[in-house]
Structure 1
Amino acid sequence: MATVEQYLKPAVIQQIKRLDLRAQFIVKGFLQGLHASPFHGFSVEFSEHRKYTAGDNPQDIDWLVYAKTDKYYTKKFEAETNITGYLVMDQSRSMAYTYRQEMTKFDYAICIAAALCYLMVHQNDPVGLVTFGEKIDKFLPPKSKRQQIGNVLSVLARMEPAGETDVAKSLTQLAAMIKHASLVMVFSDLLGEAEETIASLRRLRHGGNDVILFHILDEAEVDFPFHGLMELEDPETHEKLEVDADSFKSDYAEEINAFREQYRTECQKSGIDYVPLDTSMPFDRALMEYLVTRRQRA
Structure 2
Amino acid sequence: MTQDSRRFLQPEAISRIARLDLQARHIVEGFLSGLHRSPYFGQSIEFVQHREYVSGDDPRNIDWKVWSKTDKYYIKQFEEDTNLRCTLLVDASESMQFGNGPLNKYEYACAVAASLAYLLLKQQDSVGLVAFDGQIRAQTPMRSSNKHLHAIIAGLDAGEPSRKTEMYDVLRRVADERYRKGMIILISDLFADRDSLFRGLKLLRHRGHDVMVIHILDDEELDFNFTGTTRFEGLEETGDLVCDPRSLREGYLQAMGDFLDDIRRRCAKNVIDYQTIRTSEHLDAALAHYLNHRLGMGQSVRN
Change in CA separation of 1:165 and 1:21 when aligned onto 2, cut-off 3 Å: same
1:125 maps to what in 2? 125
Q: Given that residues 31 and 81 in structure 2 are in contact (C-alpha distance below 8 angstroms), is that contact kept between their aligned partners in structure 1?
A: no
- What are the residue-to-residue correspondences of 1:103-182 with 2, within 5 Å? 103-182=103-182
- Which of 75, 80, 101 is the aligned partner of 1:77? 80
Mapped to 2, the partners of 1:193 and 1:128 lie a distance apart of 25
Task: Give the C-alpha shift of residue 92 in structure 1.
Answer: 0.9
Mapped to 2, the partners of 1:159 and 1:273 lie a distance apart of 29
- What are the residue-to-residue correspondences of 1:167-206 with 2, within 5 Å? 167-206=167-206
Mapped to 1, the partners of 2:269 and 2:50 lie a distance apart of 39
Mapped to 1, the partners of 2:34 and 2:26 lie a distance apart of 11
User: TM-score normalised to the size of structure 1?
Assistant: 0.82
Which moved further from structure 2: 13-22 or 209-218?
Answer: 13-22
Code of the residue aligned with 1:95 in structure 2: it is: M
Q: Please tell me whether residue 88 in structure 1 is matched to residue 89 in structure 2.
A: yes
Mapped to 2, the partners of 1:209 and 1:274 lie a distance apart of 15
Mapped to 2, the partners of 1:268 and 1:160 lie a distance apart of 32
Code of the residue aligned with 1:76 in structure 2: it is: E
Task: Give the C-alpha shift of residue 153 in structure 1.
Answer: 0.6
Mapped to 2, the partners of 1:177 and 1:33 lie a distance apart of 21
Q: Given that residues 183 and 209 in structure 1 are in contact (C-alpha distance below 8 angstroms), is that contact kept between their aligned partners in structure 2?
A: yes
- What are the residue-to-residue correspondences of 1:1-298 with 2, within 5 Å? 3-27=4-28, 35=34, 44-46=44-46, 76-79=79-82, 82-99=83-100, 101-298=101-298
Residue 26 of structure 1 aligns to a residue whose secondary structure is coil
- Structure 1 stretches of 4+ with a deviation exceeding 4 A read 31-34, 56-59
Mapped to 1, the partners of 2:294 and 2:33 lie a distance apart of 13
Task: Count residues in correspondence.
Answer: 269
Q: Given that residues 95 and 189 in structure 1 are in contact (C-alpha distance below 8 angstroms), is that contact kept between their aligned partners in structure 2?
A: yes
Residue segments in structure 1 that go unaligned for 5+ positions in a row: 50-55, 60-73
Task: Give the C-alpha shift of residue 23 in structure 1.
Answer: 4.8
Code of the residue aligned with 1:77 in structure 2: it is: E
Residue 20 of structure 1 aligns to a residue whose secondary structure is coil
Task: Give the C-alpha shift of residue 228 in structure 1.
Answer: 2.9
Task: Give the C-alpha shift of residue 238 in structure 1.
Answer: 4.8
Deviations, residues 137-187 of structure 1 (Å, cap 9, x unaligned): 222101011111111112212421112111222212221221111211111
Mapped to 1, the partners of 2:151 and 2:50 lie a distance apart of 34
Mapped to 2, the partners of 1:155 and 1:32 lie a distance apart of 25
Residue 78 of structure 1 aligns to a residue whose secondary structure is coil
Residue 24 of structure 1 aligns to a residue whose secondary structure is coil
Q: Given that residues 95 and 235 in structure 2 are in contact (C-alpha distance below 8 angstroms), is that contact kept between their aligned partners in structure 1?
A: yes
Change in CA separation of 1:265 and 1:78 when aligned onto 2, cut-off 3 Å: same
Deviations, residues 9-29 of structure 1 (Å, cap 9, x unaligned): 22222222211112524226x
Deviations, residues 111-154 of structure 1 (Å, cap 9, x unaligned): 11111101111111111110111112222101011111111112
Mapped to 1, the partners of 2:205 and 2:24 lie a distance apart of 17
Mapped to 2, the partners of 1:172 and 1:44 lie a distance apart of 33
Change in CA separation of 1:161 and 1:262 when aligned onto 2, cut-off 3 Å: same
Q: Given that residues 24 and 33 in structure 1 are in contact (C-alpha distance below 8 angstroms), is that contact kept between their aligned partners in structure 2?
A: no
Code of the residue aligned with 2:14 in structure 1: it is: I
Deviations, residues 176-226 of structure 1 (Å, cap 9, x unaligned): 221111211111111111122112111111111111111111111111011
Code of the residue aligned with 2:110 in structure 1: it is: I
Task: Give the C-alpha shift of residue 240 in structure 1.
Answer: 1.8
Identity of matched residues, %? 30
Residue 222 of structure 1 aligns to a residue whose secondary structure is helix
Deviations, residues 35-86 of structure 1 (Å, cap 9, x unaligned): 3699xxxx83349x9xxxxxx8569xxxxxxxxxxxxxx963213xx22111
Change in CA separation of 1:114 and 1:77 when aligned onto 2, cut-off 3 Å: same
Mapped to 1, the partners of 2:240 and 2:222 lie a distance apart of 19
1:66 maps to what in 2? none
Mapped to 1, the partners of 2:158 and 2:28 lie a distance apart of 35
Mapped to 2, the partners of 1:274 and 1:57 lie a distance apart of 44
Change in CA separation of 1:35 and 1:189 when aligned onto 2, cut-off 3 Å: same
